[in-house]
Chain A
Amino acid sequence: MSAGWTRDQMAARCARDIPDGSYVNLGIGIPELVTQFVPEGREFIYHTENGMLGMGNPPAEEDRDLDLMNAGKKYVTALPGAAYFHHADSFSMIRGGHIDACVLGTMQVAANGDIANWSTGAPDAIPAVGGAMDLVQGVKRIYVITQHTTRTGEPKLVEQCSYPLTGAGVVSRIFTDLAVVDVTSEGFKIVELAPGVTFEEVQQKTGAPILPPE
């Protein structure tokens, strides 16, 4: 087995940092795996921006309600104690600072906490922002789960985002396959290295100076 964390391990490591009783919004992709790794004894309540608190797992096909979807337009269930609401209330929860944690995927994240995860800015790209810009401004803690580099080996943790920003200075902590990285006033700082991964390797694959763990 190669060094570093799998997608499941990245999600599990992220889940460990979310306090019991948190209201949590999860982005599409690896962030969705967080629900499978909630530490024993903790309860998170999941918010989906299309209008529900208390979102549960996908239903069996025969139990689907065709109007009950998550923000990724996948069929889901409502847990006991769930609540439905309209979009203005849903984004009041987000923008008004009532959601404790949001876990997002990204294309790039910068040493000053800037995040770019909605558009490449390419001329033929169709811009599609969804709720990302609301989430990064309003949720108390913004966590990012991402591979440390792109498929072609380019750093995703960079000095400055080259793609259009989703939000400026908003990211708290980044969980990659190689390390847990904080955004601090001095830039990126390693909190924890994945098993078998060295500080030098992480620095080499990061597009900005990175401080070693204490």
Chain B
Amino acid sequence: MIDKQYPSVAKAVADIPDGATVMVGGFGASGSPVELIHALIDQGATDLTVINNNTGNGEVGLAALIGNGQVSKMICSFPRSSQSKVFPKLYREGKIELEVVPQGTLAERIRAAGAGIPAFYTPTAVGTVLADGKESREFDRRPYVMEPWLKADFALIKSEVADPLGNLTFNKTGRNFSPLMCMAATTTIVQTNRLVARGDIDPEHVITPGIFVNRVVEVPDPVHEDTLIAAGRSYP
């Protein structure tokens, strides 16, 4: 019987090597897999390229991973926010590389990787500096710019409900990039609020089919980034 359960977040992230490319689900704090990120901090892999919409908030979760010096490059659409302090400081000191990608292009590049499409043409960013140096082409007399797929070695994902086959559901706008990242990573690691038995998720309600998922860890009552920040916490 296929069973993708892992006993702990520590074991689930143990083999992420230095230099890996890691997708991290979440949009700001919503859907952020905080326990998996903290396990990666404990594990200590460095020189990581991390793909997320943002760069984390406060000094927990993704911001803590960056602040711990483990990330050499961020690929994201919006690297600052009212509570992001860690990334801006390192960026201004020249200690971390940044690739800014329009949000929809970021999502589609990740989706394309999961779908086996090496590149696509998009109208987004045509006529702007973010299209500089990129191949462009006209379709129906309108210009488009070519964007390549975006793959990763690992994805860290938070789900609401999962089964041992890796079928997933998400919570509200906590879904965001996660289903796409599950498709685009070689190894997809999921923390789930609730692990249920095979057959307990209605097949009509599965959002991410288990074929895109490799490891599942149950993390009941996960912490939330905003709650940690409000409490003034930092990690480790």
A: which residues have CB within 8 A of B? 48-52, 65-70, 73, 78, 84-88, 90-91, 94-95, 114, 124, 126-134, 137-138, 164-169
Contacts and interface: CB of A to CB of B under 8 A. Distances in A.
A69 B81 CA distance: 14
Of B31, B98, B123, B172, chain A has the most CB atoms within 10 Å of the CB of B172
Contact of A134 (B28, B98, B105, B176): B105
A95 B103 CA distance: 11
Contacts of A124: 92
Interface of B: 27-31, 77-81, 87-88, 91-92, 98, 100-108, 110-111, 122-130, 170-180, 207, 224, 226-227
A90 B104 CA distance: 8
A210 B28 CA distance: 41
B176 A50 contact: yes
Contacts of B98: 126-127
Give the interface SS of chain A, mostly helix, strand, loop or mixed: loop
Given A52-B172, A69-B28, A87 B126 contact: no
Contacts of B88: 126
24 contacts: A50-B27, A68-B174, A69-B27, A69-B29, A70-B173, A73-B27, A84-B172, A88-B108, A95-B104, A95-B122, A124-B92, A126-B80, A126-B92, A127-B100, A130-B78, A131-B77, A131-B103, A133-B124, A134-B124, A137-B125, A138-B123, A165-B129, A167-B126, A167-B128
Contacts of B28: 69, 73
